Structure 1
């Protein structure tokens, strides 16, 4: 490992920090490989419940390293795509803590997260059209999934960035916080999620994404593959028991 992605465990939360501050955390192939390994750790470790992704030094991620791109490098991981994330987000929840710029692939990594906390000065943009490129790491199709079509097209066609306040207004960002506080608040949110039953949390996330194209009729039929295992779990018995006994639940993930 080169230390281009730093990891730290806080309770059941794995904090992953892109660590190339002098290059505005622009993504490289080695950083993508390190992030992919961290995400594998998140999903594979039963003691970890939630991930937080951020950047060191006041910038989230300025996209791919264009100098490396000119040299032929692509910051992708086979099967996981840009940054080792966008094509295969973790099964467990991922919170993005955004300070400063989230541009290009950096914004597409935000779009692959489930919850977003942003500093007041944070900005989100897809400037690919200004470089003769296209937002192919999920930006073209995920942006209109989370933003109104007209707003998504504005971002994609002008290449101009969006402020955090506007992003919050249109539902892209969950919380806007004072600059420098995004990671702390994101970790607090992640800790709140981590206190809940892991099977129920993962099934809820999975169904939200799987059901995007389902009709209501289909949804009530197809949801059983997600909901029945949760209701049949030990945790489904533990939750009501803990409530009745006025104690904290002891989740087993089974």
Structure 2
């Protein structure tokens, strides 16, 4: 079965991390499939997305150390694919490293009461930089304490500092997230999308948030058919036949 599932239901896209045997850790397959899921959500008719996770041990254990993912930023909501439709996280278990970054970058989040959020990079000496863009989304002092100490925070503390919208009983995260999503999906989509677009344009962006979308654009050029055609035409001393692909 696929490591990432995509289901459309009454205008809501349910995107599920589906590696419960690996605590839904992010490997290279997940990176590729999550990128495809965000692209699909952006172009199709679903009005809201809910990001959930299979199993009850973890929402996501972060990067899979057995298959370290390249370009993990491609899994992030609102980063690799620009989208004006709202994205809600339903957190049913521990969220480690990149998983906490997913929650931070999502538009809304619901966490079960037993959940812990762990950002261990300061303790292990690794840092991709995306989480440093937290200040517009979390309380500054509380957020710095969480990141710099590497200590876990509870779902209740995450609520207090603005990382999540609601804390719900165990087993209720997806239900609560779907309740929010269904209410939003029933509203005027042009208004909902304008609200998100204007709100996000009001937030200052960190250097990493500005960099990664540009990198995606440049990577697309570097891997395009046109660059191969350009090189070939130069070698063959003829005019290039570009396709824009």
TM-score (norm 2): 0.78
8 Å Cα contact 1:32/1:84 also seen in 2: no
Aligned to 2:101: 108
Give 5+ residue unaligned stretches, structure 2: 205-245
> What secondary structure sits across from 1:66 in the alignment?
coil
Distance 1:135 1:104 in 2: 10
Aligned to 2:50: 52
Distance 2:128 2:93 in 1: 20
Q: Deviations over 1:186-244 (max 9, x none)?
A: 0110010001111111111011111124xxxxxxxxxxxxxxxxxxxxxxxxxxxxxxx
Aligned to 2:6: 7
Aligned to 1:36: 35
Aligned to 2:124: 131
Distance 1:164 1:28 in 2: 25
Distance 1:24 1:82 in 2: 19
Q: Deviations over 1:132-181 (max 9, x none)?
A: 11252x21122x22222211111111111110011112222111111111
Aligned to 1:159: 150
1:88-103 aligned within 5 A: 88-89=80-81, 90-103=83-96
User: Aligned-residue CA RMSD in angstroms?
Assistant: 1.8
> What secondary structure sits across from 1:205 in the alignment?
helix
8 Å Cα contact 1:7/1:15 also seen in 2: yes
Distance 1:204 1:146 in 2: 16
Whether 1:122 and 2:115 are equivalent positions in the alignment is yes
1:188 to 179, 184, 199: 179
Deviates more, 1:82-91 or 1:12-21: 82-91
Give 5+ residue unaligned stretches, structure 1: 214-254
Deviates more, 1:87-96 or 1:114-123: 87-96
Whether 1:74 and 2:66 are equivalent positions in the alignment is no
Distance 1:123 1:84 in 2: 19
Aligned to 2:64: 65
> What secondary structure sits across from 1:118 in the alignment?
strand
Whether 1:203 and 2:194 are equivalent positions in the alignment is yes
8 Å Cα contact 1:33/1:84 also seen in 2: no
1:152 to 1:86, Cα distance in 2 relative to 1, 3 A: same
User: How far apart are 1:34 and its partner, in Å?
Assistant: 1.0
> What secondary structure sits across from 2:13 in the alignment?
strand
Deviates more, 1:112-121 or 1:83-92: 83-92
Aligned length: 203
8 Å Cα contact 1:86/1:109 also seen in 2: no
TM-score (norm 1): 0.75
8 Å Cα contact 2:136/2:203 also seen in 1: no
